[in-house]
Each structure stands twice: as C-alpha cells, then as structure tokens.
Amino acid sequence: MSFDGTWDLTVNSPMGAKAFRIAVTTGDGTVAGTVSADGQSTPLVDARLEEGHLRGSLRLPRPMNIMLDLDLTCDGDSLSGQAKAGHMVLPGITGVRVSS
C-alpha cells in the first residue's frame, strides 16, 4: 500500500461534494503533500503515516476558512476515509490515483 502519487479526492459535506487534487510523496520516514482546489494550493500540514493511514490537515480558505483533519486509507489505486472540521465529522472521502 503506497500513498505516493497524485489523487483526485471528493469530500462529501452538508454543503455538497467538494473536489480536490492531492499530491503525496513519502520516503525516509517523511510524508509531504500539496492539496489543490479552486485554483489554490496549500500544503498538507502535519502529514504522517500511522498504522496504514495517511493523516494530516489542510486549511480551506473558501468557501469559508476552516481546517480539515484527514484520515485516509489506501487500497491499490483507491482512497477512502473521513475528514473532521472541528467536532463535525464529514460523511466521507473517496479518491482515485491519477498518477504514480
């Protein structure tokens, strides 16, 4: 299971589905990522691999300024997981790898 690559993600929320692209690299015990949406990019903050999960946070400036905490799992070229915005758990995240 490798999170390395570029992924198209969909985050479901009460305001509707939101599409993101995330690029992840791992190696030598480090994880780095960049998240792009709506013409803006932001780094994946505190990115780490724990017990087969990719975890980290990202700040979304639009439609409102919030921090999302991600918890993702990988199964081949598919991702799934959840996001939390404060105490609110969003219904789910799905994703597909678009490049390695």
* Stated pTM of the model: 0.88
Query: How many structural domains compose the chain?
Result: 1
Catalogue the E-assigned strands of the chain.
5-13, 16-27, 30-37, 40-43, 45-50, 53-60, 66-75, 78-85, 88-89, 92-99
16-27/92-99 β-pairing: unpaired
pLDDT digit string, tens, across residues 47-97: 999 999 999 998 876 666 788 899 999 999 999 999 998 888 887 899 999
Residue span of the structural domain in which 9 resides: 5-99
Q: Using CA atoms, how far apart are residues 84 and 92, in angstroms rounded to an integer?
A: 10
CATH number at residue 92: 2.40.128.120
Q: Could you read off the pLDDT of 6-39 as tens digits, one per residue?
A: 999 998 877 788 898 999 999 988 999 999 988 8
